[in-house]
Chains A and B, each alone.
Chain A
Amino acid sequence: MRLLTHNMLSSNIKGVSNGFPLRLEVEKFIEKEVEFNADFLRNMFPKIEWKALVDAAKTLGYADLPEEADPSLLDSDDFLKKYHHALLELHVEEGVLICPETGRKFPVNKGVPNMLLHEDEGFWRL
């Protein structure tokens, strides 16, 4: 799981009003080189929850992202490289994602978060 995906995931357990961001506890992560594409990064920028990305990257020991980011930074190559690295090249392999409201843990195995809900957790069973 890349941090891009972590940035999109939220807990949808019944009754949870804000399931984002899922707290990240990491046992193992890897770095994989990914082709750089500035267009993709610019297109994604308005959709990224920046603080969540910064915090998640720090959990993986990567602290080079600025605490705050505005679109003017998208002209800087240096910024784009760091943003690219944090968003696409850091992969959580083993760990847990924790619902910020209920503390429910979603395990991550072999890089795949298990987001399956138990029968009594589904928001649709009203």
Chain B
Amino acid sequence: MDLSLLTDPVFLAQNIVDGLSRGALYGVFAMGFTLIFGVLDIVNLAHAATFMWCAFVGWLVMAVGGLPLPIGLVAATLAGSLLGVGLEFLAFRPIRKEGADRLSSMISSIGASLIMVSIAEAVFGVSTRRFPSKVLDPRPFFIGGTGGLRISRAQILILVASTLLMIVLGWFIRKTRTGKAIRAVSASTKASLLLGINVNGVIVRTFVIAGGLAGMAGVLVALLTNYISPPMGSTVELRGLAVIILGGMGNMEGAILAGFLLGLVETFTIAYVPGGSDIKDAIAFLVLFFILLVKPEGLLGKKKADRA
């Protein structure tokens, strides 16, 4: 590699921008993941399939339907919420009985995911779809002239959207009635029932929010990578999983922080390590491993006394 890159401030800034926008995506994806984990104590392994389906919904609305980006985003968000609620009623609630094993819910979500991906393959085939350039102009902006810092519209959109989402969701979870109920159920289902909270109702609302987040993430990722295809969920899923573990299971701020961290580590590995793009996953997960070795409860995770 070119050694002069090591001291090039523009190159460094470029990698920070790229890493943060990549990390923002992991964060948005993981926020929904971690919300569900909070209230149900299970990982919804159909979250990535929801995400993929919503990317296709966005593609149908914008590329096929010719409608503008805001409508595509809204449609994908609604589709995600709808899929989330569908999952709750079809895959989770029927097997959520007193004392039921959490493993059975996880397996049920794997089943749902397989079905969703298979249907997508049947409907859309395996070829990659892309957004036409009229959806979002692919030409980047340059700060400091050509050769300066390059930032695309998709990156700006993602950084702005994810920051807004984090702020709004943080406010929502702390200040609104539904948000408080979500936090209560995350802390203890039994206590929430005894407080008079309709726990099943809270779970449905959580799926609405988490599904909507998966939907937005689907379109945003598709815009950034310009790649829409039935298997697109699996790469994000693994990172989303890593991010919620690293952040501290069920901890939303932690997931966001971990998302940025993972995005930066990946980007910097590609940029500064010879052969980095081949080993970026290995490096990223090695970092994850060492952080968990030092802090097994995750970056912002709390050691839980009772989750009863």
Asked if A and B are interacting partners, one says no
On B, residues with C-beta under 8 Å from A are: none
